[in-house]
Amino acid sequence: MAYKKGDKIGKYIITRDFDSTNGGQGQWGFAEYNGDEYFIKKFLNPVYPEVKAPGSEKGKQKKKDKCKEFERRHLAMMKALESCGDGGLVVKTTDFFKCGDEFGSHYLKVCQKVDTSNLSNQVYNLNWEKRLFVMLTSAGALKMLHKNGIIHLDLKPDNILIQEWGGKLIAKIIDFDSSLIEGDSMPYEELVGDSLYLSPEFAKHINTHGEELPPTKKSDVFSLGLIFFQYCTGRLPSFSDKYNYPYEALLNGEKLELPINFLISAEDKELAEKVIFKLIEKMLILDPHARISIDEAHDNLKAICKEKLPKFSPITSPSEKNKTLLEGSQIKIGLKTTNQEKSKEKKDYPKSSSRVRFNFPRKG
């Protein structure tokens, strides 16, 4: 059952019919309480079995145990998000509870409603200064999460809302349903994410059924690097048509490519713009141990915004444009694209839901 406008859930009055669009494993809408409006999400699973729930006692107890773990994780995340302060770059959970009838109850999560500019997938159309500030605040939000031991694991443009504030556009990170607190764990089969922005090590962890090490904070850095590339160019990096997603190409020895026509465009007048691609390259290194941290990425973005150069050198000569940026890099610049190796825009990728559950076949 989807809640409708005017329904009451606990102390909240629904102000917008519930919808499943981009809701992952749930439905969402808006609700009002005490004069304030909130975002509210109903999780479709797990369902807590109440007194008249069907099934054996053993089966119901198993469901209750699963619900107890689900509740533990979400309450722990809610508490961890409280430590991120009131700066506004992280949209925190304000309430978490279950509601239903004598047969079963669903869990619901409440967050502050954010009035956004609907620019999450249109940042590349902004002028360069505005794009830089969106990147800076995105990195600042992720730095805050990592400082408090939170690994997001599902970063994508839809989960980074863009809001106008003080005449500027700032980024706010949302949706911590798939997130982990550092040191905590989750069975590999319960991990969910968007395959377009998945890091190689995250994919390996799932593909090997948990045998490879679980993703760390560096997985978020990789995802944000792909998002930054999209903020700059309007598309994801290029790679062979043999693969569907960036992580697949990297795990099979391919290199992600940077279209040279953007790098040498008429608008590319600022040295800082070239330096951004150096930064993105460091965020997309295959080896997570060699990959830049979010602290370093944020520091470099601050330097760029202040028109100071980061420690690494920008591209300065035409001869460098046909070379790989750094030894060990997974991005190449200036390669001509062909029908076999075309630049992939988001519409070129296989269609998928906003959150994809990965279920790779077991190795033979």
Given this model, what pLDDT does residue 164 score? 85
Burial of 230 (0-12, 13-18, 19+ CB in 10 A): buried
Question: What pLDDT is attached to residue 211?
Answer: 87
Digits of tens for pLDDT over the chain (364 positions)?
689 999 999 999 999 999 988 766 789 999 999 999 999 999 999 999 999 999 999 999 999 999 999 999 999 999 999 998 776 799 999 999 999 999 999 999 999 888 766 788 889 998 888 899 999 999 999 999 999 999 999 999 999 999 888 888 999 999 999 899 998 888 877 777 889 999 999 999 988 888 888 999 999 999 999 999 999 889 999 999 999 999 999 999 998 986 544 444 444 445 556 788 889 999 999 999 999 999 999 999 998 888 755 544 333 333 333 333 333 345 554 333 333 333 455 445 444 433 433 343 333 3
The beta-strand segments (E) located in the chain are 8-9, 12-14, 26-33, 36-49, 93-100, 104-112, 150-151, 160-165, 168-173, 180-181, 192-193, 256-258, 331-333, 356-357
Q: Is 293 exposed, middle or buried (0-12, 13-18, 19+ CB in 10 A)?
A: middle
pLDDT number for residue 273 = 66
Three-state DSSP at 268 gives: coil
Angle at 287 between CA 208 and CA 84, to 5 degrees: 90
Contacts 24+ apart (CB under 8 A), 261-264: 262/232, 262/233, 263/315, 263/321, 263/333, 263/334, 264/321
Q: Is the dihedral of CA 78, 191, 199, 23 positive or negative?
A: negative
Q: Quote helix, strand, coil % in the chain, to nearest 5.
A: 35, 20, 45
What is the sign, positive or negative, of the torsion defined by CA atoms of 295, 297, 300, 306? negative
- Is there a contact between 329 and 285 (Cβ–Cβ < 8 Å)? yes
The predicted pLDDT at position 162 comes to: 93
3-state secondary structure of 206: helix
- β-sheet bridge partners, residue 356: 193
Question: For residue 350, is the peptide bond before it cis, meaning its omega torsion is within 30 degrees of 0?
Answer: no
> Rounded distance, CA 290 to CA 310, Å?
18
- At 319 the pLDDT is 36
Encoded tokens for 240: 């062979």
Q: Is 45 exposed, middle or buried (0-12, 13-18, 19+ CB in 10 A)?
A: exposed
pLDDT on residue 295: 98
Q: What are the C-alpha distances in Å from 68 to residues 71, 351, 357?
A: 5, 34, 22
* Beta-strand relationship, 331-333 and 256-258: parallel
Query: What pTM, to 2 d.p., does this model score?
Result: 0.83
Structure letter (DSSP) for residue 89: S
Q: Which domains does the chain have, with CATH numbers?
A: 8-112 (3.30.200.20), 123-357 (1.10.510.10)
Cβ-contact 159, 175 below 8 angstroms: yes
